[in-house]
A and B are shown apart, each in its own frame.
Chain A
Amino acid sequence: GAGVSQSPSNKVTEKGKDVELRCDPISGHTALYWYRQSLGQGLEFLIYFQGNSAPDKSGLPSDRFSAERTGGSVSTLTIQRTQQEDSAVYLCASSFDSRIGVYGYTFGSGTRLTVV
């Protein structure tokens, strides 16, 4: 597609439920990133996929968070047993291979997650 697509755009869930957030990157972008942004806060890195390499999971805040990327394209971020502190905007971004050049990211419009 022309841009990074994320779904759903908004999600309200009850505490303790699992949620799945989806990201469809720009065609041809081999790198995919997940960040989250809480109200008034900066972008917090979560996880980074580059091609078929093992993902960099160093930013995941707890083992309730996981992500996968199937076929080198679409990615799903899963949050299990959601807590109120998980409420944030979850942003996905994609880029060309950052190991071989300087490439900025294109962000999707995000999923606004509210845990009640």
Chain B
Amino acid sequence: RKEVEQDPGPFNVPEGATVAFNCTYSNSASQSFFWYRQDCRKEPKLLMSVYSSGNEDGRFTAQLNRASQYISLLIRDSKLSDSATYLCGFNQAGTALIFGKGTTLSVSS
């Protein structure tokens, strides 16, 4: 099993749609989890951390399922500006983040 797996997509959705991505990880000792957004030819930018209890930031909701070893990102009411690649990342304390290859989202009008 790969260290981290993401469905590369692309996910093509209309404006206003709800879309969800998952990211599975193989290292059960992983402690910190993040979602990053990367626009074309730009650097990744932190979207949100993922907490055990789940967390929400506006239209974005992140969940962690330790038993099944995956994190999820839910985007509600998609906007054109949400079009990007979404990367998941995780690590143990004191180690560097390991990133997935990303899921591409395309929101159309």
Contacts and interface: CB of A to CB of B under 8 A. Distances in A.
B46 A105 contact: yes
B62 interface: no
B22 to A, nearest CB: 16
A59 B96 CA distance: 10
Which of the four size classes fits the interface of chain A?
A: 20 to 34
B42 A109 contact: yes
Interface in A8-50: 33, 35, 41-43, 45, 48, 50
Interface stretch (A62-70, A77-85, A96-104): A96-104
A48 B96 contact: yes
Chain A's interface: helix, strand, loop or mixed, by majority? loop
Contacts of A50: 94
Contacts of B96: 33, 45, 48, 56, 59
B91 A43 contact: no
A107 B32 contact: no
A91 interface: yes
Given A41-B101, A43-B99, A98-B32, A91 B43 contact: yes
B80 interface: no
A45 B96 CA distance: 7
Contacts of B89: 43
Contacts of A107: 43-45
A109 B32 contact: no
20 contacts: A33-B96, A35-B99, A41-B101, A42-B99, A42-B102, A43-B89, A45-B97, A45-B98, A45-B99, A48-B96, A56-B96, A59-B96, A98-B93, A98-B94, A98-B95, A99-B94, A104-B36, A106-B46, A109-B43, A110-B43
Interface of A: 33, 35, 41-43, 45, 48, 50, 56, 59, 91, 98-100, 102, 104-110
